[in-house]
Structure 1
Amino acid sequence: MVNKILIVAGTRPEIIKLAPVAHALGKVATLCLVHTGQHREMGAAAWQWFDLQPHYDLDVMEEDQPLSVLLGRLLQALHPVFAAEKPDFVIVQGDTASALAGALAAFYQHIPVAHVEAGLRTFDPTQPFPEEMQRVLISRLASLHFAPTAQARDFLLREGIPDEQVIVAGNTVVDSLKWLLESGKGRLPEPAHKALAQGRRLVAVTAHRRENQGERLPALCESLKSLVARHDVEIIFAVHPNPGVRRPVYALLDNQPGIHLLDPIPYPDFIRLLQACHFIVTDSGGIQEEASMLQKPVILLREVTERPEAEQAGVVKRVSPQTLLEEADRLLDDEVYYVSRCQSPALYGDGNAALRISQGLVVSS
């Protein structure tokens, strides 16, 4: 019987996707929430948006910390927590360093691991880096795998994961997004509100992945400058706090007319921005899912995606920073094409993923 469940999360996306799981499990088991601090400020705020308070804050982040050092600090910080709490299950989500460390630390203490959003694959260990390898490793450590889609389940089975350990639950981001939309929380950022009042169309932009840092990020900034030169659009760029992103973006785009650089936007407000925008430019995985539910086209700044369902449905299209402008112009100028890019069915579930995960954990015991 599952009496105590410990959830490890450290980044904003993890918390957003695990919040509905925490609420569902809190009704049937004793719950312990561990915030690793991988996203210090963004993560702390994310717990609050969903009326949750972590029992532990490990505060592991240091500036310019190598991945190997981060993983070591996470393992060292998690060990005494697991030893003291003695949970029946540890839950991790996705593919972050916090998720890998949570799964590995639990494995070392013979604690079963449940992996939420299991089975996503690009089959290229360098893209996204290091997330692809991290989620593959978590699959070897977990004993219960909650796949968001049937295709993710198939990938796990091909890797030799026993069928009885895999449950297609849907994606918990749908649970969170539905709850948020129904709650009425969030408001449109002021620059976006003003742009719409002036009859401009909005383009929402995010970029944070390692493969887009370096030479690709300046190319993205130049394409965004060309895009606002049309004078009928304005860009809201939510700039990631990573110095490798923030420094070049502000150096190239600060005070650029038509481009508004904002600190990370609170999730409820960010969802209101996605609702209001014409399309989205991003390298995010989770935004592909949110855009699908909101039926907003995504220009994806990646060479591969672990969410092929959204690409097959047409809501996501991969481009390079250099070819972004061509696709953006088409979305702005070709109404028939734009509408075709907005037609996405319920790719990631019905909003009951957290309930299925809760039931799956109870049954597994």
Structure 2
Amino acid sequence: MRELAVVVGTRPEIIKMAPVIRAAEGRFDLHLVHTGQHYDPELSGTFFESLDLPTPDENLAIGSGTQAEQTGQALVGVESMLADRDPAAAIAQGDTNAVLSTALAAAKLPVAFGHVEAGLRSFDRTMPEEVNRVVSDHVADFSFAPTDQAVSHLESEGVTAGVFRTGNTVVDACREHAPLAAEHSTVRSDLGLAGEDYVVATIHRPSNTDDSDRLRAVVDTLDDADAPVVLPAHPRTRSVLDGMGYDPSGSLRLVDPLDYLDFLDLLANARVAVTDSGGIQEEASILEVPCLTVRPNTERPETVEAGVNELVGPETLAPRLEALLTDDAACAAMTGHPDLYGDGRAGERIVDVLAERV
């Protein structure tokens, strides 16, 4: 049986690659590699168990570090793995340093490389993720684009060979896991939120956490909201807030990172999501939860165009959050487009392409 190397490095990658891994079982001999970019067990390790995925065959344990350190260490590790095993193909998802390292290592050996979630663009080269996306797309043998717009972005850059519109595996993941979350999670009752309107928030991007004034303005707004706000704190965010001596005293509840199924249940039942995460913009649209994204741009523009997501700054977050918490019509207007990213069969389509062509 042909071998397929699957490389993941962060929590969102594990979630989004889960449908691909499941679809590939029995059709490929899987070799699962975790770069360890998310090294906290609460952010990655427990996800394999909660999603009923195989334990990684290798963990490169690169941990934290600069962009160059993470990319360089993962590049060395992935290159060594690919050279030793010579799989039929290697695939990675998204826009992290793990993806860039896999793309470069595969392209130079060469091993066929498949980029899952190809063609996303924020058009902001100050974002490390944007650089990772562009480079990975331009060396990929297979570009698995989630939307027509992603296909158009690739075409405008001259990438036309090996492009397949598959939908986004995040839809597969939400549809597969939301019923499990509803059945098994007790997170809302544990947090005393059962039957209440509440906000779920995630803030972790350096553009927000590295500017103390900006971060303080965001968390002050969340702490002054008209409903409870639950923020599972990324280690980066927690470290910065601790360094600021920030101690919320109002509506904001800082909690440790949650198990994926707990977070999915929390998000699915929230009145509003506030985030700077690309993946949560997608998940909120699928689960029909209005989303406010604390960023000046997004690589998920279809959510903004559909009216289910809005880009806000620290200065506009407060009035928009208040409106969504107090005005049912405004809240309802930001729902109703759960199918922006496909029909929940993206993982199957990706594996079908690989099975036919490698």
TM-score range, shorter chain: over 0.9
- Structure 2 CA distance for partners of 1:336 and 1:317, relative to 1, 3 Å: same
C-alpha distance in 2 between matches for 1:343 and 1:256: 35
Aligned residues: 351
CA deviation after TM superposition for structure 1 residue 328, in Å: 0.7
Q: Does 1:238 align with 2:232?
A: yes
1:236 is paired with a residue whose SS is strand
CA deviation after TM superposition for structure 1 residue 254, in Å: 3.1
Specify the code of the residue in structure 2 equivalent to 1:55: D
Q: Is the 8 A contact 1:192 1:236 kept in 2?
A: no
Q: Does 1:207 align with 2:203?
A: yes
CA deviation after TM superposition for structure 1 residue 247, in Å: 2.8
C-alpha distance in 1 between matches for 2:276 and 2:107: 31
Q: Is the 8 A contact 1:221 1:253 kept in 2?
A: no
Out of 284, 287, 309, the position equivalent to 1:294 is 287
Q: Is the 8 A contact 2:224 2:250 kept in 1?
A: no
Query: Cα deviation per residue 1:95-150 (whole Å; 9 max; x = unaligned)?
Result: 00001001111112110100000000011211xx2000110000111010000001
Aligned counterpart, 1:176:
173
Aligned counterpart, 2:128:
130
Aligned counterpart, 1:361:
354
C-alpha distance in 2 between matches for 1:207 and 1:186: 26
- Structure 2 CA distance for partners of 1:186 and 1:39, relative to 1, 3 Å: farther
CA deviation after TM superposition for structure 1 residue 71, in Å: 1.1
Specify the code of the residue in structure 1 equivalent to 2:61: D
CA deviation after TM superposition for structure 1 residue 260, in Å: 1.4
Query: Cα deviation per residue 1:303-340 (whole Å; 9 max; x = unaligned)?
Result: 00111111111110011012111001111222211111
Aligned counterpart, 1:350:
343
Out of 217, 236, 240, the position equivalent to 1:248 is 240
C-alpha distance in 1 between matches for 2:11 and 2:31: 18
Q: Is the 8 A contact 2:223 2:229 kept in 1?
A: no
Aligned counterpart, 2:274:
281
C-alpha distance in 1 between matches for 2:344 and 2:222: 35
2:224 is paired with a residue whose SS is helix
Aligned counterpart, 2:84:
84
Aligned counterpart, 2:139:
141
1:280 is paired with a residue whose SS is strand
Q: Which runs of 5+ in 2 are unaligned?
A: none
C-alpha distance in 2 between matches for 1:91 and 1:182: 28
CA deviation after TM superposition for structure 1 residue 253, in Å: 4.7
Aligned counterpart, 1:60:
62
Q: Is the 8 A contact 2:16 2:169 kept in 1?
A: yes
Specify the code of the residue in structure 2 equivalent to 1:234: P
CA deviation after TM superposition for structure 1 residue 223, in Å: 1.2
Query: Cα deviation per residue 1:33-80 (whole Å; 9 max; x = unaligned)?
Result: 000000012221222222221100110114xx1111111111122222
C-alpha distance in 2 between matches for 1:49 and 1:193: 20
Q: Is the 8 A contact 1:205 1:238 kept in 2?
A: yes
1:350 is paired with a residue whose SS is coil
C-alpha distance in 1 between matches for 2:332 and 2:79: 51
Query: Cα deviation per residue 1:21-42 (whole Å; 9 max; x = unaligned)?
Result: 0111122111100000000122
C-alpha distance in 1 between matches for 2:241 and 2:106: 39
Aligned counterpart, 2:121:
121
C-alpha distance in 2 between matches for 1:304 and 1:22: 31
Specify the code of the residue in structure 1 equivalent to 2:167: G
C-alpha distance in 2 between matches for 1:249 and 1:205: 15
Query: Cα deviation per residue 1:248-295 (whole Å; 9 max; x = unaligned)?
Result: 334565352432111111110001001221100000100011111110
Aligned counterpart, 1:16:
15
Q: Is the 8 A contact 1:254 1:261 kept in 2?
A: no
CA deviation after TM superposition for structure 1 residue 193, in Å: 4.5
1:8 is paired with a residue whose SS is strand
Identity of aligned residues (%): 38
1:195 is paired with a residue whose SS is coil
Q: Is the 8 A contact 1:196 1:202 kept in 2?
A: no
Q: Does 1:33 align with 2:29?
A: no
Q: Give me the TM-score of the superposition, normalised by structure 2.
A: 0.94
Q: Give me the TM-score of the superposition, normalised by structure 1.
A: 0.92
Q: Does 1:262 align with 2:255?
A: yes
